[in-house]
Amino acid sequence: MELFRLTIHELNELYREKKASPVEVTRQVLSRVEKLDPEIHAYLTVTADSALKEARDAEERFSRGESRGLLDGIPVGLKDIFLTRGVKTTCGSRILENFVPPFDATVVEKLRSQGAVFPGKLNMDEFAMGSSNENSGFGPTRNPWDRERVPGGSSGGSAAAVAADECVAALGTDTGGSIRQPASLCGVVGVKPTYGRVSRYGVIAFASSLDQVGPLAKDVEDAAIMLQAVAGHDPRDSTSIPQPVPDYRKSLRAGVKGIRVGLAREYFPPGLDLEVNGVVQDSVRLLEKLGARPVSISLPHTDYAVACYYIIAPAEASSNLARYDGVKYGLRSSQGKGLIDTYFQTRTAGFGHEVKRRIMIGTYTLSSGYYDAYYRKAQAVRTLIRRDFENAFKECDLILTPTSPTPAFKLGEKTTDPLQMYLSDIFTIPVNLAGLPGLSLPGGVSRTGLPIGVHLIGPPLGEEKIFSAAYALESEIKWERRIPEL
């Protein structure tokens, strides 16, 4: 039986009925990684020995009737941005190539306490800066649906691993679309929660006011299970929301009857890919059939979101990445002649082109004489974008948009044109700027067989609403875990 193809909730049921074992599932997943990953390159580090030990521990708990819950014995991949005690954490960068953290991130602690099995660390754009995974310091991940195409980014390794059944579920991070866009391109479900819903303690920072942790999963129910496992207040994270976490699985079957679904005219521009538009319009019709009511809304400052983001995010990155200087940890160049030159040589050797580009942009916008002209103005625009959403949610309960403007593009297609690459996140960036929850689920496929995602946006702490709508939509779309041929 191909157990690696099953979902969290399906495997948990088999475990409880003693029809499958965590060790058997973990062995199948690791065998899958060994067979496929030389081509997919979703993993940067494989921890086979510790994963099998974790699986044996889970199996013993099940035999004693002491299961720790739905994630006990489930192989979960971790984007290589999460600190893992005793396991190398590179953040996709050569500057952290040999860095081994002394403690776990909060989300890793939570998964570990619930019995999750960790097969390894997943590839990503360096320091989460990218939309294609081509900025990884260790080579790109390839899309399982077409190995000549990108999986999206920056959580491309996480999305590809779930799509290729190289893990049952995964964790990623989303700063401007880095969970939802690769989920769309790889045909899986990805959730970016409300800012502060999940702890960022122990997550290597890119842009601290935008970063958020979330799951990538095979279906909506698994995504709800994963978010339930990692959400909640953490006193070690000053931005963590001190609110109780609802039972997301209970919200799945609430239905959409009477729900007002907002369609923002700014998200359906004249040049939108016809197949992407078609899939989204099909989803609107399905929701309407289920009793939802489409309403027209406007988000007038959407056109400024990408420009706003590419001032704020690089500015925060410039500050956050100043710590990588070759003194405290990470790469240290032996070529430096004195302290300042050591900084220069270390950062020149350790950072890739895109990271250097964003540090330079961020440093420029924060510099004397430019702060007011750029950074302060971008923060004012960010407020306008957030108010657009506040006004929209007076007229609707959820917003439905495309996730990505196109299906997966070819490797190398946009690497020479940074602006075109940045526009890959045009439909997801505003959600991060406003701190809202968003979910991408598979809506259909292109004529060439590539997945196309649809994007549900909710109000602050509106995860239950987007889960119930996504579950209803998923049931009608009947995606039924379409599998890429590998």
pLDDT for 329 equals 86
Averaged over 210-216, what is the pLDDT?
98
State the average pLDDT over residues 212-239: 98
Cα distances (angstroms) measured from residue 59 to each of 63, 172, 255, 414, 422:
6, 27, 36, 46, 45
How crowded is the C-beta side of 7, counted as CA atoms within 13 Å? Answer: 18
Return the pLDDT at 213.
Answer: 98
Residue 480 has pLDDT above 80, yes or no: no
Q: What is the pLDDT of residues 442-455, one digit of tens each?
A: 999 999 999 999 99
Quick one: pLDDT at residue 345?
87
Q: Residue 271: how many CB atoms within 10 A of its CB?
A: 6
User: What is Dmax (Cα atoms) for the chain?
Assistant: 70
How does residue 485 score in pLDDT terms, banded at 50, 70 and 90?
confident
pLDDT of residue 479: 73
Kindly state the average pLDDT of the residues 38-65.
97
Kindly state the average pLDDT of the residues 402-423: 92
- Average pLDDT of the chain is 95
Give the per-residue pLDDT at 482.
67
pLDDT tens figures, 281-292: 999 999 999 999
Q: What was the pLDDT predicted at 244? A: 95
Read off the tokens for 470: 């996504």
Nearest to 231 by CA among 134, 114, 382: 114
Domain with CATH 3.90.1300.10 in the chain: 3-260+395-477
Tell me the pLDDT band of 395, cut-offs 50, 70 and 90. very high
Question: Whole-model pTM?
Answer: 0.96
Which position has the higher pLDDT, 478 or 362?
362
pLDDT at 19 over 80: yes
* Single-letter amino acid, residue 227: L
Chain segment 100-158, per-residue pLDDT in tens: 999 999 999 999 999 999 999 999 999 999 999 999 999 999 999 999 999 999 999 99
Q: What is the per-residue pLDDT for 337?
A: 84
| 154 upstream amide cis, omega within 30 of 0 | yes
Q: Residue 348 has what pLDDT?
A: 87
* Of 462, 377, 360, 337, the residue nearest 418 (C-alpha): 360
Nearest to 396 by CA among 259, 298, 282, 266: 259
CATH number of 3-260+395-477: 3.90.1300.10
Q: Report how far residue 449's alpha carbon sits from residue 455's, in angstroms, rounded to the nearest whole number.
A: 19
125: nearest Cα among 95, 81, 184, 190: 81
- Residue 326: what pLDDT? 87
Residue 268: pLDDT over 90: yes
Compute the average pLDDT of residues 296-316: 97
* Averaged pLDDT, 462-484: 88
What percent of the chain clears pLDDT 70, i.e. is strictly above it?
A: 99
Q: In one letter, which amino acid is 299? A: L
Per-residue model confidence (pLDDT) at position 341 = 85
C-alpha dihedral sign at 427, 283, 152, 150: negative
Q: Which amino acids are annotated catalytic?
A: 79, 154, 178
